[in-house]
Amino acid sequence: MTTRAEFMERVRREMARTRGLFPARVAERPADPMTAAELVRRQLAERWPQALERFRQEFERLSGVFHAVASPSEVPAVVGRIARERSARRLITWSASALGADLGEGFRGEGLDAVAMPDDPVDEAAARELRAINAAAEIGITGADLAIGETGTLVLVSGRGRPRSTSLLPEYHFAVFDRRALVETLEQAGVMLEAWHADPADPMSGGVINFITGPSRTADIELTLTRGVHGPREVHAIFVSR
Amino acid sequence: MTSKLRVSLMVTCLGDMFYPEVGVAIVRLLRRLGVAVDFPAGQTCCGLPLFNSGYHREAREVARRTVPLFRESEHVVVPSGSCAWMVKQEYPGLLADDAGAHREAQSLAARTWELSQLLVRKLGVTRLPSRVKGRVTYHDSCHLLRGLGEAESPRTVLRNLEGVELVELPGADQCCGFGGSFAVRLPEVSTSILDKKLASVESTGAECLVACDAGCLMQMGGGLARRGSRVKAVHLAQLLEDGA
Amino acid sequence: MAPAKPALERSGPHLREEDTLLSAPVESRSFPERAAGATRDRFLQQALTIATTRFVASRDEVFAAFPQGDALRDRARQIKEAVLQRLDHYLEQLTANVERAGGHVHFATTAEEARAIILDIARRNQVKLIVKGKSMAAEEIHLNEALEHAGMAVAETDLGEYIIQLAHERPSHIIAPAIHKTKAQIADLFARELRREVAADPEVITRLARGTLREKFLQADMGITGANFAVADTGTIVLVTNEGNGRMVTSLPRVHVALMGVEKVIPSMTDLVIFLQILARSATGQKLSSYTTLVRGPRRPTELEGPQELHLVLMDNGRVRQLAGTLREALYCLRCGACLNVCPVYRQIGGHAYGDTYPGPIGILMTAMLRGTPAVKDLAHASSLCGACAEVCPVRIDIPRMLIELREHLDREKIAPWPERLLFKACGWLLGRPALYRLAAPLARLGQAPFVRDGRIRSLPSFFGRWTRTRDLPAVAARTFGERWAALAREA
């Protein structure tokens, strides 16, 4: 088996035989990602309404469904209405601390079987049970760490109380966010990624970071667009304006 | 302009053997435009077929003997975009090892024009009489379009021809399937590409299919003739012949 | 619950027989024969026309509305070149950061080593069922066969790959593996597999696949993916998918193995964002694919799910040798498939005729890289050099130029057939002798005389028939231009 040293040695040997095809530079990164991210946030503090409008347009173009509510307490009513239209009851949600609001009562008030993901790791038996619940869930409620106007993309970082599969296994995914998540461009999202990774221990550097741009889709059969292959067939964005 | 512009014709191998009327049309056209035309002796082929098939030593020798033939030429006109591309884009590189030859090749490259480019970009001529009337369509030959980046000059000439309506060919920028030896290495594939091109040509309702490359004309003209189509494949120069 | 195994059982030992039966006639034919056969396959022609036309239109549309696209393509090309110039540095950095995040990194010089590494990981984890995301690298090393041979069940989970697996075929397009199949053919496949009626409706078929594959995701012990990118600065593996199978594979099984060619490493998140802006646009005409998944290490202690082990296999398999080779530029490739969709040859023959893992114009270069130049003796000529591929390539790989260089190599190394070499060399010799060259026309006129009607030739024997079977040939003119010049000169 090739060792790391042998492998790298071979790479270096071949590299030494050429100077390359032309002078080239990699992308220029923000010198201080934290400051750069802060600058983006300051710009968005003023421009967020335009960013939101662009997000809505792009998101709807992807067949996403956009909702706006005044406060988090109104989220369950929106979800409840859609759930009744789709005859869906089983709901899983990120933990209250991950969402920044405890909506459990609200969901139950809408007649939904809501299970919130725990913040702390659980034993194996409980994990198996959770997986069964997740697999059977029809509705998944998550937050969103970024909402990118240019592409209608929701960015979700996995971590404590925010499992990877809440936005993946159910047929209907709802992402709840407010204006702090809004950025205009992928380039700005790139600045955020740099800032999140500036400290490797930062929880925002994720286990997994997912950029979600519309529902799960395929065009593998005669290039006919079909939604909901493996992931959600519907994605809803709920903007909380408070 | 005080002194008359002098242009040498590089007729190309296909132009010489199969389409001499194109060369004749170019000579007469340029003369009518007040250009002095000559035809340097000793021309054979630009070497593109050799080059594209990977026979670079042979192509280099062809380039080495072709460049000096045009040493005295003020400008050189070529009826095929692919041969113009060969001279302009590949000759200097092929002769890179020999400083003198390389310099001369670069000079030739700068003085070489595909016909429509010479007309529009050098002579500034756009309004010309046409031999035919009616509907024509234009196929972009790959080397002229993507090799030399020229889509506009031929269209400018065609659009300004009196009594001629230029209809855009759907998929005009797609290859006709000629590709030199490709046409006989993979004849079924070449023909399948051609069939789609010709279906598109016939969908335009044009009577005349214009191109600026002898290779494409051989392929498309050959296909049209075989299917008994009423569409004629012609070189741009053939449209620009005087009245008769 | 009983594992849903029929598909996997069938892909066990039986596969080998069926495979041979299915592929034997294909493999025994030469490339020109396969290509000619493909042009006669009406189903294939129809499927190819629909698919490539839509892909091209979507791509053109999305780039037309993206004025910064051209500049980003230039940036992306530069980044790829810059990475290759310091490849050792970025690979070391990537390795260190993957390990820091709790992952394991392996080094595979050959396909065989890559297979052995992955098999070993699977065995140590007592893996029975593997779910796979779409990976050309895994196709390249024939990973499924190796895993199945070792008694493991492998389920492809990309819908297109799943279809191909059911049909015991290989992908025919880099991003749309089942592009050559009609919905009726696919419905038949599912019907046979599930032993029930299946309507020829993409919606219905997709629902069925969702149900079947969902079970597998939940039961699988190990997930295998490729990697679209790996970010050296953070040790992040990036997967771009539309279906979400890549997310399933990296979220649910307890082991995740990512296999990638060394050239996929990029420096930073800032570089990643540049590539993301052009990748989906080039591939499918989307601004972004549905899911871009950034995986950094195995499950965190704070997480409820995610793999407990993460392995990254860095693969050479012919790539490293090209750092100083003529195919270096092919190492920029993002595997978007745009060059396939615009290629007039691919559009006629589809992916299978190319006969190897990577089809289309870039596939010829990849095949040369993986198997050596003699393997592309015929394939190197599967291009009219029209240049459409270079025009759409997001990192502007000059594919036509590299094909010409491959052809040059075929002559130089005397791999090209000797009659061809003799013919071209004779032509070269003749073109250097204008006095002799001038005799060609009169001789041709003599030779063609029996075949000419109205200035055209409709039929010629032997080799020349390759032209005249489908096209007329103009006769050599009664007087060449050279022969007319003297008179023409006097006109002035």
Is C54 within the bounds of a domain? Answer: yes
Domain residue extents for chain B: 6-121, 126-239
Across C314-333, average pLDDT: 97
Is C11 within the bounds of a domain? Answer: yes
Distance CA A113, CA A90 (A): 5
pLDDT at B242: 65
Query: What sign does the CA torsion over A223, A225, A226, A227 have?
Result: positive
The percent of residues in chain A predicted with pLDDT above 90, rounded, is 92
Across C11-19, average pLDDT: 34
Domain boundary among C303, C320, C337: C320
**Where is average pLDDT lowest: B8-22, B143-157, C195-209, C228-242?**
C195-209
User: Is residue C215 within 8 Å of C4, Cβ to Cβ?
Assistant: yes
Across C268-294, average pLDDT: 97
Across C41-48, average pLDDT: 90
Q: Give A 66-105 residues with CB within 8 A of chain C.
A: none
Is C475 within the bounds of a domain? Answer: yes
In chain C, which residue's Cα lies nearest the Cα of A217? C243
Across C433-442, average pLDDT: 95
DSSP helix/strand/coil, B205: coil
Contact A27 C267 (CB under 8 A): yes
Contact A190 C286 (CB under 8 A): no
Contact B65 C406 (CB under 8 A): no
Contact C470 B226 (CB under 8 A): yes
- Give CATH for domain B6-121: 3.40.50
DSSP helix/strand/coil, A86: helix
What Rg, from alpha-carbon coordinates, does chain C have? Answer: 26
User: Which residues from chain B sit within 8 angstroms of residue C479, using beta carbons?
Assistant: 20
Is the pLDDT at C472 greater than 50, yes or no?
Answer: yes
* Residue among A6, A17, A159 whose CB faces C300 most closely: A159
pLDDT at C293: 98
Is the pLDDT at A91 greater than 60, yes or no?
Answer: yes
pLDDT at C19: 35
User: Helices then strands (H, E): number in chain B?
Assistant: 14, 8
User: Which residues from chain A sit within 8 angstroms of residue C113, using beta carbons?
Assistant: 1-2
**Chain B / chain C CB contacts < 8 angstroms:** 199
DSSP helix/strand/coil, A44: helix
DSSP helix/strand/coil, A67: strand
DSSP state of A152: T
Distance from CA of B114 to the nearest CA of C (A): 18
Contact C202 A28 (CB under 8 A): no
Contact A11 C182 (CB under 8 A): no
Distance from CA of A103 to the nearest CA of C (A): 20
Number of Cβ atoms within 10 Å of the Cβ of C70: 12
pLDDT digits (tens, 9 = 90+) for C137-170: 999 999 999 999 999 999 999 999 999 999 999 8
Is C419 within the bounds of a domain? Answer: no
Three-state secondary structure string covering B104-135: HHHHHHHHEEEHHHHHHHHCCCCCCCCCCCEE
User: Which residues from chain B sit within 8 angstroms of residue C456, using beta carbons?
Assistant: 225
- The residues, ordered by sequence, that sit 6+ positions from C419 with a Cβ below 8 Å of its Cβ are none
Distance from CA of C50 to the nearest CA of A (A): 8
User: Is residue A220 within 8 Å of A157, Cβ to Cβ?
Assistant: no
Mutation target to probe the A interface, by most A beta carbons within 10 A, among C62, C159, C290 is: C290
Q: Which helix (H) or strand (E) holds B81?
A: helix B81-85
Strand partners, C231: C236, C266
A contact chains, 3+ CB pairs < 8 A: C
Across A5-18, average pLDDT: 98
Vertex C63 angle, CA A63 and C348, to 5°? 95
Contact C345 B189 (CB under 8 A): yes
Is the pLDDT at C284 greater than 60, yes or no?
Answer: yes
Domain residue extents for chain A: 32-216+227-240
Domain boundary among C298, C320, C342: C320
pLDDT at C14: 34
In chain A, which residue's Cα lies nearest the Cα of C58? A223
Contact C481 B142 (CB under 8 A): no
Q: Which tokens belong to B244?
A: 């008769």
pLDDT at B221: 98
Is C273 within the bounds of a domain? Answer: yes
Burial class of residue C99 (count of CB atoms within 10 Å of its CB; 0-12, 13-18, 19+): middle
Three-state secondary structure string covering chain C: CCCCCHHHHHCCHHHHHHHHHHHHHHHHCCHHHHHHHHHHCHHHHHHHHHHHHHHHHHHHHHHHCCCCHHHHHHHHHHHHHHHHHCHHHHHHHHHHHHHHCCCEEEEECCHHHHHHHHHHHHHHCCCCEEEECCCHHHHHCCHHHHHHHCCCEEEECCHHHHHHHHCCCCCCCCCCCCCCCCHHHHHHHHHHHHCCCCCCCHHHHHHHHHHHHHHHHHHCCEEEECCCEEECCCCEEEEEECCCHHHHHHHCCCEEEEEEEHHHEECCHHHHHHHHHHHHHHHCCCCCCCEEEEEECCCCCCCCCCCCEEEEEEECCCCHHHHHCCCHHHHHCCCCCHHHHHCHHHHHHCCHHHCCCCCHHHHHHHHHHHHCHHHHCCHHHCCCCCCHHHHHCCCCCCHHHHHHHHHHHHHHCCCCCHHHHHHHHHHHHHHCCHHHHCCHHHHHHHHHHHHEECCEECCCCHHHHHHHCCCCEECCCCCCHHHHHHHHHHHC
pTM of the model: 0.94
| A6 alpha-carbon distance from chain centroid | 40
Average pLDDT, chain C: 92
Q: Which tokens belong to B28?
A: 């007469």
Range of the domain at C460: 437-491
User: Which residues from chain C sit within 8 angstroms of residue A219, using beta carbons?
Assistant: 176, 242, 284
Give the strand pairing for C222-225 and C255-261: parallel
pLDDT at C158: 94
Contact B222 C467 (CB under 8 A): yes
Alpha-carbon distance values, A37 to A198, C28, C128 (Å): 11, 59, 45
Strand partners, C153: C129
Confidence at C135, pLDDT banded by 50, 70, 90: very high
Number of Cβ atoms within 10 Å of the Cβ of A67: 19
The percent of residues in chain A predicted with pLDDT above 70, rounded, is 100
Is the pLDDT at C47 greater than 70, yes or no?
Answer: yes
Residues C444 and C315 in one domain: no
Decide whether B6-121 matches B126-239 in CATH topology: yes
Residue of B85, B28, B20 lying closest to C385 (CA atoms): B85
Contact C251 A168 (CB under 8 A): yes
pLDDT at A223: 85
In chain B, which residue's Cα lies nearest the Cα of C42? B192
Number of Cβ atoms within 10 Å of the Cβ of B205: 12
* Residue among C45, C431, C463 whose CB faces B62 most closely: C431
pLDDT digits (tens, 9 = 90+) for A192-232: 999 999 988 888 887 899 999 999 999 888 888 999 999 99
Is C203 within the bounds of a domain? Answer: yes
Across C251-278, average pLDDT: 98
Distance from CA of B59 to the nearest CA of C (A): 7
Interface pTM, i.e. ipTM = 0.97
Contact C50 A222 (CB under 8 A): yes
Residue of B18, B23, B20, B21 lying closest to B8 (CA atoms): B23
Contact C387 B193 (CB under 8 A): no
Higher pLDDT, C3 or B39: B39
Q: Class of A32-216+227-240 per CATH?
A: alpha beta
Instruction: Write out residues in chain B with pLDDT < 50, as ranges.
Output: 1-2, 243-244
Count of the separate structural domains present in chain C: 2
> Do the chains B and A touch each other, judged by at least 3 C-beta pairs below 8 angstroms?
no
pLDDT digits (tens, 9 = 90+) for A109-138: 999 999 999 999 899 999 999 999 999 999
DSSP state of A72: G
- Give CATH for domain B126-239: 3.40.50
